[in-house]
Structure 1
Amino acid sequence: MDDRLLAHGLGGAKDLPLSLELAIAGAVAALVVSFTVLAIAWRKPRYDAATSGHPAPAWLDRLTASTAWRVWWRAFGIAVLLYVGWAAVAGPDTLVNPFLGVFYVLVWVGVMLLSVLVGPVWKAISPSRTINLLLAKVSASSPGEGLYAYPTRLGYWPAALGLFAFVWLELVYPSSTEVGAVRLWCAAYLAIMLLGGALFGDKFFAHADPFEVYSSLAAKLSVWGRRDGRLVVRSPLADLDSVAAKPGLVGVVAVLFGSTAFDSFRESERWVQFVQASSVDSFVLNNLALLAFCVAVGVILAVGTMATGVGEGVRRSALPDLFAHSVVPIIIGYIVAHYLRYLVEYGQITLAQLSDPLSRGDNYLGTADLGVNLWLTYHPEFLARLKVLAVVLGHVLGVIAAHERAVQLLPAKHQLTGQLPLLFAMVGFTVGGLYLLFAA
């Protein structure tokens, strides 16, 4: 992997041979039309996780519920941990070390997008969950229960902090592509996960593991779900509606969305010129900007949702977390727009490097001579349209998810006007996101 790893696959205006004004106008029109149609035709709740979905084929349900299936994926996760850990410890401290590609490309982008297709991947392969399970077996205790009950008030806030720590390492820390720095981050992450699992059991991973929380949220857009322990196939929006509104959910989506926006912003010509001309150290400026983007997303979402009004028995302060799930499709849309080419092209490079973890000319996996298909790079117009489509589709799905939640919570006479502040927030996210995508 060469120094192009630093580009994060964003491309930018040179890869977007489309008019910014046309893209924004089309996206805003799509949101407004979607909202209008929903306001007229969708006046009652349509999704109920307890009843929605059709049973999956019996053989598939038996397979995915079997012990052998779970053991296979847990063993796979541990095998990857050991193999990639070997590269991290014994491999060279250079960009050709596959440890970096696995961490930044296959896990952060690949696992999350794969979760959209097949379900919560990280939960299935999580090394920390597996190690916690093995330790519980040795000590004859239950992995689901730790020494203490997980504090309800913490919710997803630990995961939000963990996600911020990751994006800070990736986007701000000057040594983000040095094996030693990333290795230290991973060691600290694993230690915290194992300690938390021992103290609070599996519930800690579901709320505090940044990768599991991210993967599980992305999986809510898959067609696969569980109802009464049975595998079902249902609308991704019905699955998304089942996201539990807990403290910190706004923080999670704010970090994910805000950091992606910052990733575009820091590549823009205006920001680069500002940083170069400023007397303040660039490290400080980037720290402040990353934090500002994440906080701004959280504030806009909170204001937009709390301004919708409340129904009977609903506290206004609870609305941000109740509507936060509607930002998940937007996040996935921007992940596709920003990182798809990055995943496809550098994912291939990483697979080739994995065959030679110590950079000695080995070919353990038989992929060392794998060529890199640059089809997306050679078709910029297709890539541009795909990026804009991903952003617009993500926002349209977000509007639908927010509308469904609004008709569940708001009184009938207030359902239309109550949603307008949130619609304005969605439009702001769309315009800002597309502008940054083109400006990068």
Structure 2
Amino acid sequence: MRVVVALLALMPSLAWAHSFGRQYNLPVPLWLYVYGGAAALALSFFLAAFMLRGEQHLALSRRYRLYRKKPSRQVVARSLSVMVLLLTIATGLFGNRDPYVNFSMTFFWIVFLLGFAYVCTLFGDRYRDINPFVTLAKLVMPSRWQRGLRRYPRGLNYWPAFVAYLGLIWVELFTHNTPMSLGQMLAAYTLYTVLAMWLFGVRSWARHGELFSVMFRLMALMSPLHNGRRQLSWQAPFSGMLREQPRHLALLFFVLFLLSATAFDGLRATSWWVSLFWHDRTGWLTAWMGSAPIYNFVTLRPYYFAFESAVLLLSPFIYGVFYWLSMALAKGLTGSALSTRELCLRFAYSLLPIALVYNITHYYTLIFTQGVKIVSMLSDPFGWGWNVFGSAGLWRAPIIPDVAVVWHTQVGLIVLGHVISVYIGHRIALRSFATARQATLSQLPLLVLMMAFTASGLWILAQPIGAR
């Protein structure tokens, strides 16, 4: 076991973001949390089945215009976004090599990738207004080229964005991230995106192929604000998921990877996951190597790397199998004329709240421990000892929340996210099936799947606490 613990210390992960300075024991056994979460889901399911009936519940809520956008402000926002992108690349390539003081690492991985996703969830798709890649493409290309050299192939739909997202998470989890490597990656992605926009058109590529456009637009479906091209409107929270549905499997798998990537990142930091390979319960590795795997760490390390990489890249498809089975059962229970594929697409967005709360519970301590340092880095982005805005001495120390607060917040968010998904799923079911009875029956398999997600999520969160 000591060797396994030593191996855990060698594994690249964000587990340090969940570490705290004192021991904390769960106030009640984990199984009680799991049963309580499952009971909350079951209760919300029966309440939705009882209360959501009738055509009035199928109608989408209205949107109320808040204000019309001013073009001058949008020009300023787009210019700033391009400047921040170029600054992130420059600080990565030429700044301090220490990732904890270099602006690029903290800004991209925490402020942008995490924080901006939460901003879009609360305030709508703000990224569409400031997409720096769109602005750069329009700056370097004449207007006649912005429509693209050829029409965007229908068969590609959202697959380029999905593949890019697979690659981004793989880079985050399995490479030795440095400011230099991040700067190179962002520079390469910028060039790749501008060339793709030149080939297929700025608007088409931004809609289907640009990773961050697709990801933030999905997050914005849960927002109470609708960010139109010319105006900002108020809408009922989560109603965006009811106004549209994915029409391509690529977008379904993108949603599934939003869920599975975070779950995998938490799972691989547990002792159970490490022992799955290194304890060699099947005996195959021992027979092959002639001794226990732990004594052949150097030799087997590349195989462990390949094993983890394969599981990560296959995770959305593994989740997809269980999701497809639940939809096939829903079709069988209701006798619906809709195909299983169509049902999978219709209910795909009901998984978004679960993906969101998984992301928040897994990473929000990272925002407190490292993300707050962005305030000081704004005055010294290259890590050269500058103090441009006078904030170089602010919030340099991490904010470490109390572990009891973190745990109960995580539990509450996970249960809340699943309850919202149950509600959204039932609303979609009422639109998809002829009767309320069919709608209720269709949700039983999905309810079981969400209970399984709840149990696994709570188990993963509790592992670092139990290991201590």
Pairwise same-fold verdict (TM > 0.5): yes
Match of 1:55 in 2: 64
Question: Hey, what's the Cα distance between the residues in 1 that align with 2:16 and 2:79?
Answer: 30
For residues 173-209 of structure 1, the C-alpha deviation after alignment (integer angstroms, 9 at most, x for no partner) is 2x1x222322232223212211221122212112222
Match of 2:286 in 1: none
For the pair 1:360 / 2:362, whether they are aligned, the reply is no
Residue of structure 1 in register with 2:341 after alignment = 317
Instruction: Give the Cα–Cα distance (whole angstroms) in 2 for the partners of residues 315 and 4 of structure 1.
Output: 42
How far did residue 394 of structure 1 move?
Answer: 0.8
- Residue 68 of structure 1 is matched in structure 2 by 72
Matches within 5 A, 1:4-403: 6-7=14-15, 9-11=17-19, 17-18=26-27, 19-44=29-54, 46=57, 48=59, 52-57=61-66, 61-62=67-68, 65-95=69-99, 96-136=101-141, 139-141=142-144, 143=146, 145-173=147-175, 175=176, 177-201=177-201, 202-225=203-226, 230-247=231-248, 248-277=250-279, 278=293, 280-281=300-301, 282-309=304-331, 314-372=338-396, 377-403=400-426
TM-aligned CA deviation for residue 348 of structure 1: 1.2
Deviations 1:80-136 (A, max 9, x none): 012222211211332232211112111111110111111113222221111122234
The verdict on how the C-alpha distance between 1:72 and 1:388 changes in structure 2, with shifts beyond 3 A counting, is same
Structure 1: unaligned runs, 5 residues or longer: none
CA distance in 1, matches of 2:243, 2:156: 20
C-alpha distance in structure 2 between counterparts of 1:338 and 1:134, whole Å:
38
Partners of 1:10 and 1:327 lie apart in 2 by 25
User: CA–CA distance in 2 between the matches of 1:185 and 1:380?
Assistant: 35
Calculate percent identity across the aligned residue pairs. Answer: 26
RMSD over aligned Cα, in angstroms? 2.6
* Distance apart, 1:17 and its partner CA: 3.4
SS of equivalent residue, structure 1 residue 370: coil
Bigger drift between 409-418 and 247-256 goes to 409-418
| Partner Cα distance (1:244, 1:349) in 2 | 39
Corresponding residue to 1:435 among 452, 455, 459: 459
3-state SS of 1:232 partner: strand
How far apart are residue 243 of structure 1 and its match? 3.6
Normalising by structure 2, we get a TM-score of 0.84
1:297/1:11 CA distance change after superposition, 3 Å: farther
- TM-score under structure 1 normalisation? 0.89
Q: Equivalent residue of 2:143, what SS? A: coil
Q: Partners of 2:58 and 2:228 in 1: how far apart? A: 13
> What letter corresponds to residue 235 of structure 1 in structure 2?
A
Structure 1 residue 16: Cα displacement = 7.1
Q: Distance in 2 between matches of 1:142 and 1:398?
A: 42
The whole-number CA distance in structure 2 between the counterparts of 1:230 and 1:44 is: 32
| Cα distance in structure 1, aligned partners of 2:83 and 2:16 | 27
Cα distance change, pair 226–140 in 1 and its aligned pair in 2 (3 A): closer
Moved more, 110-119 or 145-154: 145-154
Are the aligned partners of 2:225 and 2:234 in contact in 1 as well (CA < 8 Å)?
A: yes
Matched-pair contact (CA < 8 Å) for 1:157–1:251? no
Say if 1:308 and 1:420, in contact at 8 Å, map to a contact too: yes
SS in 1 for 2:226: strand
Q: CA deviation at 1:350?
A: 3.0
Cα 1:8–1:127, aligned 2, differ >3 Å: closer, same or farther? farther
Q: CA deviation at 1:430?
A: 1.1
User: Structure 2: 5+ residue runs without aligned partners?
Assistant: 1-10, 280-292
Q: Alignment partner of 1:308: what SS?
A: helix
Task: Output the CA distance in 1 between the equivalents of 2:431 and 2:63.
Answer: 23
Whether the aligned pair in 2 keeps the contact of 1:8 and 1:339 (CA below 8 Å) is no
Contact 1:16 1:380 in 2 (8 A): no
Q: Looking at CA atoms only, which structure, 1 or 2, has the larger radius of gyration?
A: 2
| SS across alignment from 1:93 | coil
SS in structure 1 at match of 2:416: helix
In the comparison of the two structures, how many residue pairs are matched? 425
CA 1:54/1:294 → structure 2, altered by over 3 Å: closer, same or farther?
Answer: closer
Rounded Cα–Cα distance in structure 2 between residues aligned with 1:226 and 1:397: 22
Measure the CA separation in 1 of the matches of 2:154 and 2:25. Answer: 45
Cα shift readout 1:299-358 (whole Å, capped 9, x = no counterpart): 222222233217877332122222110111111111111111111331112332332223
Q: Is the 8 A contact 1:44 1:408 kept in 2?
A: no
The AA in structure 2 aligned to 1:56 is: R
Contact 1:47 1:238 in 2 (8 A): no
